[in-house]
Structure formats: C-alpha cells, structure tokens
Amino acid sequence: MLLSKVLGAIVIVRNGDRLNYYQDPYNYGGSETETTALGEVESFQLGALLRSTYLDSSSPSFIPGIRSDIVDNSELKVRVKAGTEGSVVFDSAVALLQGLYPPNSNNKIVLANETVVTAPLGGYQYVPVETVEPGNDRSLEPWTNCPNFEKHIKGFYGSSEFKETARAAEPFLKGVKDYIFGRPNTLENAWNIYDFINTQLTYNKTYAHRLPPTFHEQARGFADFHEQGVFSDKDIAGVGNIAGRTIMNTIIKALERIAFNGDPLQFMLIETTYQPFISFFSQTGVTKDHPDLAGVPNFASALAIELRRGPPPDLRDFLRIKFKNGTSESFRDVHVFGHHADIPLTEFIYRSEHAAITSNRQWREVCGVKTNGFEIFETVLPTGGAHTQAAFTGAFVFVALLGLFAVAKFVKRCRAKATRVRLEGEEVSQDSKHPKYGTMMRGVY
C-alpha cells in the first residue's frame, strides 16, 4: 500500500496546553480555563506539520489536487468543540490553522480602479470555523448531561478493578495530599489531581522545585486508569464509548464525502478535547496492540485518518490511520479491528456504523434523557455538510411562507364578508394621536 494515492484526510486534534481545569468526577461538568502561549505554539507547530504532510507535493501523504497556497474553503472543513474547555479548543484551532495555511502574499484582490489590496498581516488567511455547541449538536460533547453515562461512571467506581486500584493508590494519595492544597485525594478525583500537578509543574517554578520526583508520573498513571475506565466500554456500542460513537458518525460521513468524486471536500479538521481519542481506540481495538495508548493523550495530539486509493490492480479505497501523541513524537501507524495493515473503507464502515450515534434524538435515547414533548424539529448530527442544512432551512422557510399566505387569504375573505359602518365626521387614525399634543398628522414627526 506504500504507493497508494491519498484522496483526503480527517484529522482529529486535541487542544494545546492550558491552565488548570477542573472536571466533576461524577458528571464531567467543567470549570473555566484559558489557553496559554505554550498551548498556542504547540497547536501552531502541529498545523505546520500537517501542512508539510498533506499540502507539500514532495510528501508521500500529499493530497493531489488540494490547493496549498490560498485555502479553498470548499476543500477544507473545520469543526471545533465549543462545550467545556471551549475557548481553549477554539484558540487552539485558530493557532493550528495559522500553521496549516500561513499568510500568503497572493491572498489579494484587484479593485475596479486597479488598486491591489493584500489581506492584513502579509496576506493572513481567514479560514471559516464551525463551532459545535452541545446545546444544539451533541457530536463533539455527548458525555455531559447524559444520565446513563453518569450511571456508567458510578458502575466503574463500584467495580472490583476500581476498588483494587484505589487500595494500591493509597500510599500515593496520602503522600500527595500536601501538594494538591485541599483538593480531594481520592482515586475518583485522579484526573483533577493529575491536571493540577501537571499545570503547576509546567508554570510554577517554586512548585516544580518542591514536587517529589515520582509524583507526576504516579498521578499520570492513575489518571490514565481513571479516564480509560470512564470513556471506554467492552461493547463497541456501549454508553462508555459515547464520546467515540458520536464522532464516529462525523468520521464516516466525511469519508463518504471525500470518496465521492463529485464532492470537493478533501481535508477535515476536528478540534476537540481528549475524550474521543480514548473511546475511538477502545471501539476499534487499537489499545489491544498498543496498550500504551490506553489513557489520556497529550496536548496537541493528533489522529489522522487517511483515505487512500489502492494501487493497481486493487483500486479499492483503504484507510491508513496514524497517531501522534503530543509534541514529542512523530506520527506512527496504528491499526484497527485486528488488522495489521490498511483497512478497506467498506469494512471499516461495516464494523463501526451500527455503533455510531447519528442524531440528537438517538443521543437522548442512548442517554435516557426525557423530553418535554414539545419538540417540533429534530437536529441531525452532521451528514452532508452545509448542503443538508441549507435544504432543511429552505424547506422550513417555504412551509412558513405557505402558512402566512393561507392566513392572509383567510383574513381577506373575512373582511370581504364583514359589514362596514361609517360614522359621521372626519376619520382619525389611532396612531395619529399623541398623548401630549393631541391629534397629529402622519409624517409630521
């Protein structure tokens, strides 16, 4: 498959570094946080790497036909998670796009008077970004406000595996108490313990000098165990894999668009947080061959799903999946569903689509969310891009206008049948009176 042609790619990216962030260990509601210059640099460097990988004609993963100098918005689609950690994820996406499509002096326009205007900052490229808010689209944050997922978390905390790990963690949890400043030193709170230590170790010089040598590694190990247990499931369609089940629908639909010759899409970027990585690796069996990937991926990690056309005589489409864990390593191939090479696109879809959550209605069914019975329209998770949304909007406007036309006709008929009575004296419109100045003529104001 080394000579296979890359038709396009979907890249799922974790946000760059940020300040300390708290997540409720029972429902995963989040606190406020903000990005840092370090996080923006990490994302920018990742964008530059993706550019050299997919937009450079000398690269073996170059996507033929994609425009690399000035972005063609029909070839590129960017979706950004706007829920918890939303501002950080958005900032990371913008920084990444600056590296993917840097300023270009050809980003200019000639006016009618022959004046040449170049975009600001030497030809800065403004790439449209679609923010995905969980209030109307659950594809990038399906785990919050999900009762059945919260039951899954409680079940994990009550498991024998969790209790055994909690007993093994007791020495560390007692020792770390003086370094987390009042935060609960329990295994249930393992992710928050690690995130606090990691943030302080990165940005607080005094703290970094005082922290015992092994505490950071131990905190990371227990956090990996914790998050792997929360965001995975033995069943590919289990609620524990909900973070992967919703993003899987986006992946499949994007692959179908890239594979279709009539669709210009060639590159999709999904900027999100760490949870979908854990679920995706669990669903597709990646962690069986790569146990080191069980847990939280580092900041600015990237999962690349390349759609490739096989070399003759096999002209089927295959998927090559690569993963880059943070800024310290390069992309490496990871294989899904027990394969040890590229997987046929048709097989990947066949083995994963039944577990994908395709609509907000299905998400509510999976989560056990009760509705109020007054919902008129159902929001569908992304399937065909802007075309589907535009078609829905057009149909809605048409129905609304048709209704207004019918009401207008009815009122007109009623007025025609009514008997009009004309009183003696000059007619005065109600809206031509003023409480202070009395009767006034229209148009004098």
**What is the model's pLDDT at position 322?**
98
Residue 402 within a domain = no
60 and 98 part of one domain: yes
Residue 396 within a domain = no
Residue 131 within a domain = yes
pTM comes to: 0.84
Residue where a domain terminates, one of 363, 391, 407: 363
Residue where a domain terminates, one of 363, 381, 403: 363
The 3-class secondary structure across the chain, one letter per residue, is CCCCEEEEEEEEEECCCECCCCECCCCCCECCCCECHHHHHHHHHHHHHHHHHHCCCCCCCCCCCCCCCCCCCCCEEEEEECCCCHHHHHHHHHHHHHHHCCCCCCCEEECCCCCEEECHHHHCCCCCCEEECCCCCCCCCCCCCCHHHHHHHHHHHCCHHHHHHHHHHHHHHHHHHHHCCCCCCCHHHHHHHHHHHHHHHHHCHHHHHHCCCCHHHHHHHHHHHHHHHHCCCCCCCCHHHHHHHHHHHHHHHHHHHHHCCCCCCCEEEEEECCHHHHHHHHHCCHHHHCHHHCCCCCCCCEEEEEEEECCCCCCCEEEEEEEECCCCCCCEEECCCCCCCCEEHHHHHHHHHHHCCCEHHHHHHHHCCCCCCCCCCCCECCCCCHHHHHHHHHHHHHHHHHHHHHHHHHHHHHHHHCCCCCCCCCCCCHHHEECCCEECCCCCC
Residue 393 within a domain = no
198 and 259 part of one domain: no
State which residues form the domain around 42.
5-143+231-363
137 and 264 part of one domain: yes
Residue where a domain terminates, one of 363, 395, 415: 363
Structure tokens at 227: 């998050």
Number of structural domains the chain divides into = 2
Lookup result for tokens 């025609």 = 416
Residue 47 within a domain = yes
Residue 392 within a domain = no
CATH code of the domain in which 24 resides = 3.40.50.1240
53 and 76 part of one domain: yes
166 and 104 part of one domain: no
265 and 208 part of one domain: no
43 and 161 part of one domain: no
| Per-residue confidence in pLDDT tens, the chain, 445 aa | 456 899 999 999 999 999 999 999 999 999 999 999 999 999 999 999 999 999 999 999 999 999 999 999 999 999 999 999 989 999 999 999 999 999 999 999 999 999 999 999 999 999 999 999 999 999 999 999 999 999 999 999 999 999 999 999 999 999 999 999 999 999 999 999 999 999 999 999 999 999 999 999 999 999 999 999 999 999 999 999 999 999 999 999 999 999 998 999 999 999 999 999 999 999 999 999 999 999 999 999 999 999 999 877 778 999 999 999 999 899 999 999 999 999 999 999 999 999 999 999 999 999 999 875 434 334 455 544 444 444 444 444 454 555 555 545 554 554 444 444 333 334 333 333 333 333 333 333 2
320 and 358 part of one domain: yes
197 and 238 part of one domain: no
125 and 55 part of one domain: yes
